[in-house]
Structure 1
Amino acid sequence: MPALSSELANLPALYAGFWDFCALIAFAELKIADFLARMTHPVPLDALTAYCWRQHHHDSWEGVNSPSPDASEVYVLACAPDVARMMRPMVRCGLVRLDKRGYYSLTSAGRTVISTEAGVWWDQVMLTAHPWSWNAARNLTSAVLGRGPTELLSANGVRVTDGAVESMFDRLDHDPGLAELFYRVAARHTAAFAGELSARLLVNEGTKSVAAIGGGHGHLLASLLLDDPELQGSLVERPGPASFAADVIDTHGLRLRCTVIPGDIFSADDLPTGQDVYIAERVLQYCDDTHAERLLQGLAQVMHVDSQVWLVETVLGEPHETEATDYLDLGLLAMLSGLLRTEAQHRALAWKSGLQVATTAALPAGLTLLILIPLTGTCSAAQTEEPPS
């Protein structure tokens, strides 16, 4: 690789990062963290390779086609050097420890990639590794340049129906495996700030009802209702996740205090009327401006004069301010559905929809709470092109 000037010093890291992540995907797919976590002592390479082989070829070994023990041992020995190559980035990144004997053990960081509830990163890695995510990433060029011709999109695995590009939520409706990963990741993210939202609701004078708009599997709403036994709830979501949300609500014994509405969050007819607080958790970032405005306009129609809309969003900062928002924004672009917005863009979107941002507050995990209220005064949003500064 040619030597690079100081201005280009980050370029090799961008290239290497791709292959490091590919190694992380293999590490997660094979559930190596699960295996090492079960071990009471460091594991030699041959034992790790044997586990990886069994994990990868488990289905093909069933029945009469299973290789003999002698044959499988030969295969394992042949794969061992390549397993060691795959593990090198995991050691370098601190997920796995390699001792002087060449034995492997799991670090505390590596435990975040366990496939059970304890592994907060496993679902995220597997969601990114899903073929839909890979196809969307490969289609980034077309997404940047106006989505590209429908033939190209279709060739890259993106569904196009009557000229309309499939959104991620459309895909979730007919891909149960992808939907399961997506909503598990969403539930993990929700846990980071649910407590703070509950605390704010408890001190929000006069709040007796809350509606989760696009509430996913219902984990956030269930948490809010459990923290306040006087609170009534409702949830609007597409039929698939709404069914799962109903089960979550039932599991927590909240059926009598919560209504789950299978419906379209972009239709005011499906939104519950007169709720004190409407919460949309990371919903707008998955919407283009047209759908985001339609959602907010629908909420403006069903709110009462003292209602509030609580938007939980990743707010885009200044260019190059944080890597995390850059990654997320590119992912939303590639998924052909949404985008991150600045605070000013949120304010403008709210104003066009008949709402205004009353206040904002920082939440954990880099999120921001934007509290919207109905526009006041005689001047409507339709009569004014720009929101107040």
Structure 2
Amino acid sequence: MSVDDRDMPAPSVEDPTGARQIDADPFAAARLQALTTQEAIQQMTGADMRQHALKAFSTLGIADSLDDDEFRTSDELAEICQAEPQMMARFLYAMHARGVLTTDEHGRYGLTSLGQALRSGGAMWAALGVITSPLWQQAGDNLAATICTGHPHALNGEETPYPLLAAHPGLAGMFDTFMSSRTTGLAATLAARSFAGFRTVADLGGGDGTLLAALLTAHEHLDSILIEQADVTARTEHRLIERGLAGRVEIIAGDIFNDPCPAADLIILSSILHNWDDPTNLRLLSNARQAMLSAGPHAKLWIVEVPLPVPGIHNHGIDLDLRMMSLFAGGQERTMPQYYDLLARAGLKIIDVSPLPSDHALMIAMVN
């Protein structure tokens, strides 16, 4: 419970006496509704302080100060992190309430699995670094200006954040780690599917090869193609060599929107379409369609995205759509009817949709 929550008396809705009072008092229901509205808004606006707290936890290096099974007192952690003891005690109390820390029988603090995930260099540490970076924060702060002008205000005329990321190697590295971590769970789910009818898989815009690596490891009969921008392919090749898979992946530095796509039994577009507007995606899908026609009538296209839910329902796609609006010119999440329409305009048809982790969906398409 926050300080603001404590300042607001909450009526007991389970008390039948209170219920009778609401019935008797024509203004009581309105007051209860106002209180509920205030609480809802406070919950929404409280997210920024939780984000700031995670950033402070990372900046102070608290996770790096504790081994997995180690416990320290608040004063010990304050000394290690060069923090003011009383402030540190209050902060650790809050992070314990948030589930980032746990305590032993002596009241000393240790890391939960959440806290362990925030160690330097880890995936969630990278995610936190990206989300709390000046670029991401500026994008959110200027959302109103973006809505009014129709272009992401934080990009200074660029179409995507990638050129701005390239100018800050540290942030670009964290972004790569962040994207790779997001792909890992999805990759494991996709790798568990049958690939009996496929020989060659092409991952368009496949990043550092995390998805392809999972597929190739699980299915030894597969060969693959990965197409990415030239400034990404060197990192991709290095990662695949580390995994012992470089010989099974043809890495092509190219433009997936304009360059021809090699023929492949299975073409994958994972978290690609949501970065772009319809005209740009139609060029990409047309390229994929030509590659599928070259591969034969059984070729398939796998699309991984987060479909928007029906109106009035919240899922991960709602927040992600606002993020795309603020950081990608034309970027957007789409409803399933919009995906059906988009693919139909490219001469493709969706034949199956399967749920994936974190509100993602796998859309399987073939040439119409």
Residue 368, structure 1, aligned to residue 361, structure 2: yes
Task: Give distance in 2, aligned partners of 1:40 and 1:302.
Answer: 55
Residue 51, structure 1, aligned to residue 80, structure 2: yes
Match of 1:284 among 267, 273, 284: 273
Task: Give distance in 2, aligned partners of 1:193 and 1:176.
Answer: 26
Counterpart of 2:321? 329
Match of 1:250 among 241, 255, 260: 241
Match of 2:135 among 132, 140, 145: 132
Residue 80, structure 1, aligned to residue 110, structure 2: no
Residue 212, structure 1, aligned to residue 203, structure 2: yes
Counterpart of 1:10? 40
1:131-158, CA deviations, whole angstroms, 9 ceiling, x for partnerless residues?
111111112112222336x9xx3xxx53
Q: Relative to 1, partners in 2 of residues 1:236 and 1:173: Cα closer, same or farther, differing over 3 Å?
A: farther
How far does residue 302 in structure 1 lie from its aligned partner after superposition? Answer: 2.6
How far does residue 39 in structure 1 lie from its aligned partner after superposition? Answer: 6.7
Residue 275, structure 1, aligned to residue 264, structure 2: yes
| Residues 14-163 of structure 1 mapped to structure 2, 5 A cutoff | 14-37=44-67, 40-41=70-71, 43-53=72-82, 76=83, 79-97=84-102, 103-117=108-122, 120-147=123-150, 153=153, 157-160=154-157
Task: Give distance in 1, aligned partners of 2:247 and 2:220.
Answer: 11
Counterpart of 1:301? 290
Amino acid at match of 2:111: L
Amino acid at match of 1:332: M
1:250-282, CA deviations, whole angstroms, 9 ceiling, x for partnerless residues?
22333332110111111133x22x111111111
Is residue 140–residue 326 contact of structure 2 (8 Å, CA) maintained in 1?
A: yes
Match of 1:358 among 343, 351, 366: 351
How far does residue 51 in structure 1 lie from its aligned partner after superposition? Answer: 2.1
Match of 1:265 among 229, 253, 256: 256
Amino acid at match of 2:280: H
Match of 1:199 among 192, 197, 202: 192
1:335-383, CA deviations, whole angstroms, 9 ceiling, x for partnerless residues?
13421111111111111112111111112232110011111xxxxxxxx
Task: Give distance in 1, aligned partners of 2:155 and 2:161.
Answer: 10
1:158-208, CA deviations, whole angstroms, 9 ceiling, x for partnerless residues?
332xxxx341233333332222222212222222122332233423x2x11
Q: Any unmatched runs of 5+ in structure 1?
A: 54-75, 376-389
Q: Relative to 1, partners in 2 of residues 1:362 and 1:112: Cα closer, same or farther, differing over 3 Å?
A: same
Q: Relative to 1, partners in 2 of residues 1:219 and 1:327: Cα closer, same or farther, differing over 3 Å?
A: same
Task: Give distance in 2, aligned partners of 1:108 and 1:99.
Answer: 15
Q: Relative to 1, partners in 2 of residues 1:103 and 1:226: Cα closer, same or farther, differing over 3 Å?
A: closer
Q: Relative to 1, partners in 2 of residues 1:354 and 1:174: Cα closer, same or farther, differing over 3 Å?
A: farther
Amino acid at match of 1:352: R
Task: Give distance in 2, aligned partners of 1:87 and 1:80.
Answer: 10
Q: Which piece of structure 1 moves more, 178-187 or 248-257?
A: 248-257
Q: Relative to 1, partners in 2 of residues 1:166 and 1:202: Cα closer, same or farther, differing over 3 Å?
A: closer
DSSP 3-state at the match of 1:94: coil
Task: Give distance in 2, aligned partners of 1:201 and 1:267.
Answer: 31
Q: Relative to 1, partners in 2 of residues 1:178 and 1:319: Cα closer, same or farther, differing over 3 Å?
A: farther
Percent same amino acid at aligned positions? 28
Q: TM-score, normalised by structure 2?
A: 0.83
Task: Give distance in 2, aligned partners of 1:95 and 1:313.
Answer: 29
Task: Give distance in 1, aligned partners of 2:321 and 2:220.
Answer: 37
Q: Which piece of structure 1 moves more, 300-309 or 92-101?
A: 92-101
Amino acid at match of 1:285: H
How far does residue 99 in structure 1 lie from its aligned partner after superposition? Answer: 6.7
Amino acid at match of 1:322: H
Number of aligned positions between the proteins: 334
Task: Give distance in 2, aligned partners of 1:40 and 1:88.
Answer: 17
Amino acid at match of 1:213: L
User: RMSD of the TM alignment (CA)?
Assistant: 2.3
Q: Relative to 1, partners in 2 of residues 1:333 and 1:46: Cα closer, same or farther, differing over 3 Å?
A: same
Q: Relative to 1, partners in 2 of residues 1:102 and 1:326: Cα closer, same or farther, differing over 3 Å?
A: same
Q: Relative to 1, partners in 2 of residues 1:291 and 1:29: Cα closer, same or farther, differing over 3 Å?
A: farther
Q: TM-score, normalised by structure 1?
A: 0.79
DSSP 3-state at the match of 2:81: helix
Is residue 135–residue 158 contact of structure 1 (8 Å, CA) maintained in 2?
A: no
Q: Relative to 1, partners in 2 of residues 1:214 and 1:183: Cα closer, same or farther, differing over 3 Å?
A: same
How far does residue 108 in structure 1 lie from its aligned partner after superposition? Answer: 3.2
Q: Any unmatched runs of 5+ in structure 2?
A: 9-33
Q: Relative to 1, partners in 2 of residues 1:209 and 1:20: Cα closer, same or farther, differing over 3 Å?
A: same
DSSP 3-state at the match of 2:190: helix
Task: Give distance in 2, aligned partners of 1:29 and 1:350.
Answer: 45
Amino acid at match of 1:224: L
How far does residue 246 in structure 1 lie from its aligned partner after superposition? Answer: 1.0
